[in-house]
């Protein structure tokens, strides 16, 4: 698990490293430039011409230092300083003067750099606080239109380090070399798309620079598969995790299948499915391992016994919004004493009566996509996309639930705890049934005794990794939910040890 910092947190780390630990700011700038140049060299990008566009802030100073380092290595490099040199920050002005002393080639006009094989963006970095307009906007348009490989120093200019939103216009990069920590906006859309490949490098700003402050945003990594406990040699189906799946409606047997099989593939020992009788033939054929109970003409006592049997409950995929399913959702929430994963139509039922979320005496995990979140909150999808972290965190705190807000990059908020940003996954996963697979994975994580505070984010990571593995094998365009589900075992094989 690694921290992803906001602009405020990163600036504070800079200050702490300089003021508390006594590392001179010019040293950090030199290290940043050195690491950036090293990444260009690793990728063979120093063999042709390099043009570096520098602002007058410290991000521009990083770019100026990189220009000098490249020049001293014999590279064909030129830089252009945007703005008045007299308005440079102290460290940026120092780098500008050093470059002039070394006679590093300086372009007379910005346009002189547009034919370069590599264009480097060192204009604003993470310090941008308002939309880009005027001459700077025109320059970024020209950079984006150039037939060059584009690399950003720390952050593509115009991308919010906090939200990933485009601030008027932004440089669209193939590579972003960032320093110390990844930034939240580099992994949220559309920022992630504008960053291209992201390389996080060490410059002397470490976890110690946080001075004990806990960052708001985190990302699960492959090593976090260790949250899944090793397999007990004495385990049996009753001790391996019991999952109750309330899913499927008429013509929606697939939702129950995807959710239930995904829970099984996570290692659950038993899965019971509470579903309409019409789904029995399909589910018995596709998933004979599951134990089925159809809810037509059944008493609430049957459902209560299932609730009391389960270690975790998943409710919602494909159930529809009908008087009968509303009663089932209400009954589950009133009687459950184990974590409940709420997905799909369960969320649409909540949207009609949000008071239902205030009554349960157990932990709830909600997994809305943008449309469902819009119905839950009354906000527009456009607003939610622009404020993913804030919207998920506010909803999580308001209703004391774990909120998994799904989009191209999913955000998971645990109330008054961590916010997780997904760093895996691909566009091919936008396919019917993919969400049912995710909810089954999350339920499976809880059944494997992963704490609820981490299970949702771990499930999102496993889902994304499975999607990436499936896409590598089959291609993104043709990806199906079945392909994602069938890749779960390959993800779990990445766990370091099951001894």
Contacts 24+ apart (CB under 8 A), 357-360: 357/399, 357/401, 358/399, 359/333, 359/334, 360/333, 360/334, 360/336
Output the pTM of the full model.
0.94
Q: Output the tens digit of pLDDT for each of the chain's 499 residues.
A: 999 999 999 999 999 999 999 999 999 999 999 999 999 999 999 999 999 999 999 999 999 999 999 999 999 999 999 989 999 999 999 999 999 999 999 999 999 999 999 999 999 999 888 999 999 999 999 999 999 999 999 999 999 999 999 999 999 999 999 999 999 999 999 999 999 999 999 999 999 999 999 999 999 999 999 999 998 888 888 888 999 999 999 989 999 999 999 999 999 999 999 999 999 999 999 999 999 998 875 667 789 999 999 999 999 999 999 999 999 999 999 999 999 999 999 999 999 999 999 988 899 999 999 999 999 999 999 999 999 999 999 999 999 999 999 999 999 999 999 999 999 999 999 999 999 999 999 999 999 999 999 999 999 999 999 999 999 999 999 999 999 999 999 999 998 654 4
Look at residue 499 in the predicted model and tell me its pLDDT: 44
Look at residue 297 in the predicted model and tell me its pLDDT: 55
Look at residue 235 in the predicted model and tell me its pLDDT: 86
Look at residue 497 in the predicted model and tell me its pLDDT: 55
CA distance 479 to 437: 13
Handedness of CA 21, 204, 193, 470 (dihedral sign): negative
- Which residue bears the tokens 């889902």? 463
The partner residues of 175 in beta bridges, in order of sequence, read: 151, 197
CA distance 16 to 38: 26
CA distance 16 to 205: 9
Q: Are 312 and 243 in contact (CB under 8 A)?
A: yes
3-state secondary structure of 72: helix
CA-to-CA dists, residue 143 to 62, 146, 345, angstroms: 19, 5, 46
3-state secondary structure of 422: coil
Q: What is the DSSP string of 33-66?
A: HHHHHHHHHHTTTTSSEEEEEE-SSHHHHHHHHH
Look at residue 299 in the predicted model and tell me its pLDDT: 62
The partner residues of 121 in beta bridges, in order of sequence, read: 53, 152
Give the length of the chain: 499
Q: Where are the alpha helices (DSSP H) in 146-252?
A: 184-187, 191-195
């Amino acid at each position: 698990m690694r921290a992803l910092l906001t602009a405020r947190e990163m600036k504070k780390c800079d200050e702490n490293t300089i003021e508390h630990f006594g590392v001179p700011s010019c040293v950090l700038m030199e290290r940043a430039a050195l690491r950036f140049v090293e990444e260009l060299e690793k990728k063979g990008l120093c063999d042709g011409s390099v043009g570096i566009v520098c602002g007058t802030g410290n991000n521009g100073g990083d770019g100026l230092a990189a220009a000098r380092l490249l020049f001293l290595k014999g590279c064909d490099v030129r830089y252009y300083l945007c703005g008045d040199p007299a308005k440079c920050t102290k460290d940026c002005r120092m780098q500008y003067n050093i470059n002039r002393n070394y006679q590093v080639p300086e372009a007379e006009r910005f346009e002189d750099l547009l034919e370069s094989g590599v264009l480097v963006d060192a204009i604003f970095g993470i310090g941008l606080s308002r939309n880009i307009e005027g001459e700077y906007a025109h320059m970024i348009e020209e950079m984006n239109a150039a037939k060059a490989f584009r690399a950003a120093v720390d952050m593509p200019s115009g991308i919010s380090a906090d939200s990933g939103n485009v601030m008027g216009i932004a440089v669209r990069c193939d590579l972003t070399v960032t320093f110390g920590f990844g930034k939240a906006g580099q992994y949220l859309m559309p920022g992630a798309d504008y960053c291209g490949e992201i390389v996080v490098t060490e410059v002397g700003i470490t976890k110690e620079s946080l001075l004990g402050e806990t960052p708001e945003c985190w990302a699960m990594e492959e090593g976090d598969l260790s949250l899944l406990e090793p397999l007990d040699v004495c385990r049996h189906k009753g001790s391996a995790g019991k999952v109750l799946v309330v899913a499927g409606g008429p013509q929606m047997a697939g939702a129950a299948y995807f959710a239930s099989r995904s829970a099984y593939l996570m290692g659950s020992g038993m899965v019971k499915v509470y579903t309409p009788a019409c789904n029995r033939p399909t589910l018995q054929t596709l998933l004979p391992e599951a134990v089925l109970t159809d809810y037509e003409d059944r008493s609430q006592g049957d459902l209560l016994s299932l609730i009391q049997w389960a270690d975790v409950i998943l409710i919602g995929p494909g159930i529809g919004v009908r008087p009968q399913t509303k009663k089932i959702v209400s009954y589950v929430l009133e009687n459950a004493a184990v974590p409940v994963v709420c997905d799909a139509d369960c969320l649409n039922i909540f949207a009609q009566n949000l008071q239902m979320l205030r009554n349960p005496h157990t932990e709830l995990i909600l997994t809305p996509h943008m449309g469902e979140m819009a119905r839950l909150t009354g906000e527009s999808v456009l607003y939610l996309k622009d404020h993913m972290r804030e919207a998920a965190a506010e909803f999580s705190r308001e209703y004391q639930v774990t909120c998994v807000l799904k989009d191209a990059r999913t955000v998971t908020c645990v109330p008054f705890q961590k916010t997780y940003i997904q760093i895996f996954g691909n566009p091919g996963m936008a396919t019917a049934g993919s969400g049912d697979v995710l909810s089954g994975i999350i339920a499976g994580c809880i059944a494997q005794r992963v704490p609820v505070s981490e299970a949702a984010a771990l499930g999102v990571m496993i889902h994304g990794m499975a999607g990436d593995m499936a896409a590598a094998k089959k291609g993104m365009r043709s990806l199906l939910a079945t392909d994602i589900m069938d890749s779960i075992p390959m993800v779990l094989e990445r766990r370091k040890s099951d001894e």
